[in-house]
Amino acid sequence: MNEVQKNSIPKEVIWTLNELQNAGYESYIVGGCVRDIYLARVPHDYDVTTNATPEQIISVFEKTDRRVVYENNFGTVGIINKDLEKNHPGYEIEITPYRTEGNYSDSRRPDDVSFSTDIHEDLMRRDFTINAMAYDPIHNSLIDNYQGKEDLGNSVIRTVGNPDERFSEDALRIMRAIRFASQLGFICETETMTSIKKHAASLANISAERIRDEFIKLVDAPYAKDGMVHLHKLGLLEYIVPELLEGVDCEQGGIHSFDVWTHNIKSLEHGTYKEYPFYVKLAALFHDIGKPRTRRKANGRGSKEWTFYGHEVVGAKMTKEIMRRLKFPNETMDKVVKLVRYHMFFSDPDAITLSAVRRMIKNVGKELIWDLMDLRTCDRIGTGRPKEKPYRLRKYHAMIEEVMRDPISVGMLKINGDIMIGEMGLKPGPKMGWVLHALLEEVLDDPTLNTREYLEGRTRELFELEDHELKKLGEAGKDKKDEEEFRAVKKLHRKHKV
């Protein structure tokens, strides 16, 4: 390593390596961090490997002021440098004894893991040549048995040893290969690529959680679109998100130059370019996923035009199923589903009313409104022939800003349950909720009605209504609309026998 590369290693890491060596053991930084230093990328953590056993590692660091954590996870001992920020790469340094891995009978996890005293054995079990280098900065010695440095120089992902063997040991490596290629802008070496294709079906043995974690990294990577193309070309996508395949060759006509699949990944590409948050990029990838299932001929059989009525409703449902299956946290799932569900808003600033904009914000929520605008940008650029002019979008954004000052949830009404009970002497109960929603509906149409005086008078009138009448008034304000639309789309499907 040159001086610049060596100097990029945090002093806490050097200190850790030194403590082990002073106690008579070998120590190296290894794997991802060595790869990242050579690529002039900042490693997100540093892994250390050594010929000491976990007990020996613990006894070396117990004598220091560092906090030592040991959870018996494959023998890894964590050293905490609590003076550093938690997100500093040197905050927790993980030290793992050299390991060999035994047989892999289920192409997932090794049946047994045992420690070794030979660094070469440890490097042999690692997945790719670029991840199989160990470096000792104290003696400036690099162990690179598989030409990892050369592969880094050539931007190539290549398995350590025979790819067929390595992918049958652990099928997750298939996804890792494409993920690293997407993160680094690398290509898979021919034999590795051929083998990935051959072993695609073994992805079915991998747990949803492990697939999800790799998929997240891929979608979040700088070359995410290329990664998606590879998942498709190599036959991997059907084990991850098969629903996306329905869009391949699904022509759209009209202003669209691309099939649904290409449009989805091009939208993702724009999200990557703009560095939008992960959930917006995922929404861009999924936003038209419901189109193939809703595609109909526009004017009967002979027509060349297509319609996709309800594709955002169907797409939101599919998105939810996919994200449930992949065990995404609910918070992320809710955001992506909402963005997909509401991406079809009408945004012609000359033809739209402020109250329509207000309803749109109420649907998707204030927190997501700007993400929804970003998704629209992805959608626009992803068509190849953007249908909206940016100045119109800017005008629309100005309308949103204007409307954001007005109430869009019952919480922003100038009246609430406490006032109704405490000051107006009304009885608490479900009626109160319906009244509030009915009031919100009125105020959404005309924000000038949001005064204490008007709302009190209107509350007294509404309390006189029968329950069912009141419910109906407030209903539009709740999320019943969704269900109705689902039902309508279902009917449509039945009619067309799909």
Q: Pairing state of beta strands 306-307 and 296-297?
A: antiparallel
* Shortest distance (Å) from residue 42 CB to ligand ATP: 10
* Shortest distance (Å) from residue 32 CB to ligand ATP: 2
* Shortest distance (Å) from residue 136 CB to ligand ATP: 17
SS3 per-residue string spanning 113-175: EEECCCHHHHHHCCCEHHHCCEEECCCCEEECCCCHHHHHHCCEECECCCHHHHHHHCCHHHH
For residue 17 the two structure tokens come to 């390596």
Given candidates 9, 31, 228, 378, which one binds ligand ATP under the rule CB under 6 A?
A: 31
Nearer of residues 84 and 419 to Mg ion, judged by Cβ: 84
Per DSSP, the residues of 210-245 read HHHHHHHHHHTSTTHHHHHHHHHHTT-GGGT-GGGG
* Shortest distance (Å) from residue 129 CB to ligand ATP: 10
Q: Contact residues for Mg ion (CB under 5 A)?
A: 32
Tell me the C-alpha distance between 88 and 78, whole Å: 15
* Shortest distance (Å) from residue 214 CB to Mg ion: 13
Nearer of residues 47 and 288 to ligand ATP, judged by Cβ: 47
Nearer of residues 164 and 334 to ligand ATP, judged by Cβ: 164
Our finding on whether 92 is near ligand ATP (CB under 6 A) is: no
CB atoms near residue 460 (< 10 Å) = 13
Q: Which of Mg ion, ligand ATP, none has residue 126 at its interface (CB below 5 to 8 Å by kind)?
A: ligand ATP
Residue pair 148/129 in contact by the 8 Å Cβ criterion: yes
Nearer of residues 166 and 431 to ligand ATP, judged by Cβ: 166
Residues 42-71 that bind ligand ATP (CB under 6 A): 44, 47
Nearer of residues 32 and 417 to Mg ion, judged by Cβ: 32
Any idea what DSSP says for residue 475? H
Given candidates 32, 222, 235, 349, which one binds ligand ATP under the rule CB under 6 A?
A: 32
Give the burial class of 391: count Cβ atoms within 10 A of its Cβ; 0-12 exposed, 13-18 middle, 19 or more buried. Answer: exposed
Tell me the C-alpha distance between 186 and 227, whole Å: 10
Q: Per-residue contact track with ligand ATP, 113 to 152, x per CB under 6 A?
A: -------------xx---xx--------------------
Given candidates 99, 173, 266, 317, which one binds ligand ATP under the rule CB under 6 A?
A: 173
Contacting residues for 275 by C-beta, under 8 A, at least 6 apart: none
Which 3 state secondary structure label does DSSP give 82? Answer: coil
Give the burial class of 82: count Cβ atoms within 10 A of its Cβ; 0-12 exposed, 13-18 middle, 19 or more buried. Answer: exposed
Q: Which of ligand ATP, Mg ion, none has residue 133 at its interface (CB below 5 to 8 Å by kind)?
A: none
Site residues (vs ligand ATP, CB under 6 A) = 31-32, 44, 47, 126-127, 131-132, 170, 172-173
